[in-house]
Structure 1
Amino acid sequence: MTIINTLIVDDEPAAIEGLRLRLDAFPQIRVIGEANSVAEAITLINVQMPDLIFLDIEMPEQSGFDLIRQLQPELCPAIVFVTAFHQHAVKAFEVRALDYLLKPVKMERLAEAITRVCELTTSRADKAQLLSAAADIAKEVQDAGGRVDSTKNAERVSDAAEPQYNIEMQKLVIQDGRNPIQLIPYQDIIWIDAAGDYMCVHTKVETYVMRARLKSLIDERLPDVFVRIHKSTVVNLTYVEKLQPLSNSEYKAVLVNDKVLKVSRTYAKGLKQRLLG
């Protein structure tokens, strides 16, 4: 059995401790160090030369992407990002991370990530691509006026704040642990409906199934252009063609693909206000 020397980098001690306890279940993983900042992590990497880093993205002063761009290709270990925010997933895969885990980390997903680390090796060419992409991402953040926010709640702004999404660029991350991770552009999603603990994400060409509750999806991930029209349905406003009144102050929303969705009384007024500006 090959032993994988592993470093955990996270500014939250509780997160480090929780991940370390989970990693104890995997005999092939040897945790050789912990770091609470990018500067501390660089020092440990240069001394310990780990094979794998579980890396948080949002940390004070410098982000996980900043750490990657400071590494030399020959010293760059495998990277598994661990973060509380779905919004970083696209950038994580742009920098060739082997996997992307959401906090709190589930054992099933952690096992899959470790299996992937054991099966895959990162070539020098891949490492060079990783470092180049990470540098580009860090520059984009700097050009936008600041680093990746380290407040841990910047992504969770109120509805009254300026929209946090550029819908042309953002994607919904769908992962269920067994199938490949899918990145669905928000602008391609027509509507989403709930089925218990699962969501059906409908696009023009395909319907995707993801494990999530509608409330958490609305609160944490969906751009402002998505509006709730029923307790179990949200719709992309850009695909609503017309509203047809029904009895009891309810409506039918007719979409551009001729799909008809019921609009309940609870959400009818809000939908009309959004459509009429």
Structure 2
Amino acid sequence: MMRVAIIDDEPLARSGVRARLEERRGIEVVADFADGLAALEGIPQCRPDLVLIDIEMPGMDGLKVLSALKPEERPMAILLTAYDQFALQAFSLDVVDYLLKPIDDDRFEEALERAHRALPYRRPSLAGAPKETYTQMFTVRVGAKQVFVRTVDISWIEADGDYAVLHAAGKRFMVRESLQRLAGQLDPAEFVRVHRSAIVRISQLSEMRCLSNQDALLRLQDGTPLRASRTYIRQLRALLDKPATYS
């Protein structure tokens, strides 16, 4: 069970996030706070594993709250913000993701999934938990036969109605799976969601051109053009700025 606290000065925002969380198993909402000072006092008492915290609050903003907490008291954090330029300031403060307001349902699910994956390594009692393994091969039915598609061969994945299309080794393979579920099966150090309908292997990116509306145009090594939406672009940039560890 993951213990979660909500920190936002807007009552409607707090109630909206609480309603989303209470629909999900494996999550216990242990507190909500209407300002940064109350959160700073309350977090060491209720000891949440994760906080969903607004960046822009009067008095003490979300980043100052996280900075003021002792490292051993600081929970994982998902930032809530209407201003994405603040997000990259916080990746040294145990921030696992950030969500732009108004909150997108797919991104909300994705952020919680990241927190769940990180939980065993953040909670001391679970420090000895085994390292999570990710899908190494997909089994795809093509006519009367089964084809095995290695994850290492996948360059990108696109949504197609109720299916997802794996682009691997110059071929297309359809699987009856949502992009959201596939994202949870893939190593986040190697794959990143760039759009509601697309996931790419980071090592396959060759170009990125930013647009005036904060979207970006991407080009893969095989020449495939893709669009990265504003919802996902900051997360993509943060991954690209990290030292490369993927293959």
Report the TM range for the smaller structure's normalisation.
Answer: 0.5 to 0.7
Are the structure 2 counterparts of residues 208 and 50 from structure 1 closer, same or farther at C-alpha, using a change threshold of 3 Å? same
Q: Choose the corresponding residue for 1:29, options 12, 27, 30.
A: 27
1:84 Cα deviation (Å)? 1.0
Match of 2:91 among 85, 90, 93: 93
> Can you give the 5+ residue segments of structure 1 that lack an aligned partner in the other structure?
125-173, 183-187, 214-277
Identity of aligned residues (%): 29
Does 2:195 align with 1:176?
yes
Query: Which whole-Å deviations, capped at 9, do the CAs of 1:11-41 have from their partners, x for residues lacking one?
Result: 1111101111111221111111110111100
| Residues 39 and 199 of structure 1: CA distance in aligned 2, closer, same or farther (over 3 Å) | closer
Unaligned runs of 5+ in 2: 124-192, 232-247
1:176 aligned partner, one-letter code: H
Structure 1 residue 200: Cα displacement: 5.1
Q: Which has the higher strand share?
A: 2
Cα contact 1:175–1:181 (8 A) shared by 2: no
1:211 correspondence with 2:229: yes
- Secondary structure of the residue aligned to 1:46 is helix
Sort the Cα spacing of 1:209 and 1:6 in 2 relative to 1 into closer, same or farther, 3 A: same
**Alignment match of 2:5 (pick from 7, 24, 35):** 7
Counterparts in 2 of 1:61 and 1:119: CA distance versus 1, 3 Å: same
Give the TM-score of the pair, scaled to structure 1: 0.48
Alpha-carbon distance in structure 2 between the residues aligned to 1:68 and 1:180: 31
SS in 2 for 1:59: coil
SS in 1 for 2:95: coil
Q: Is the 8 A contact 1:192 1:202 kept in 2?
A: no
CA pair 103-64 structure 1, distance change in 2 beyond 3 A: same
| Distance verdict in 2 for CA 1:83–1:76, change over 3 Å | same
Letter of the 1:209 counterpart:
R
Show the counterpart of 2:142. none
Deviation for aligned residue 1:94 = 4.5
Q: Residues 82-161 of structure 1 correspond to what in structure 2 (within 5 A)?
A: 82-121=80-119, 122-123=121-122
Equivalent residue number for residue 46 of structure 1: 44
1:77 maps to 75
Higher CA-based Rg: 1
Match of 2:60 in 1: 62
Q: What's the TM-score once normalised by structure 2's chain length?
A: 0.53
Aligned-pair RMSD on alpha carbons? 3.6
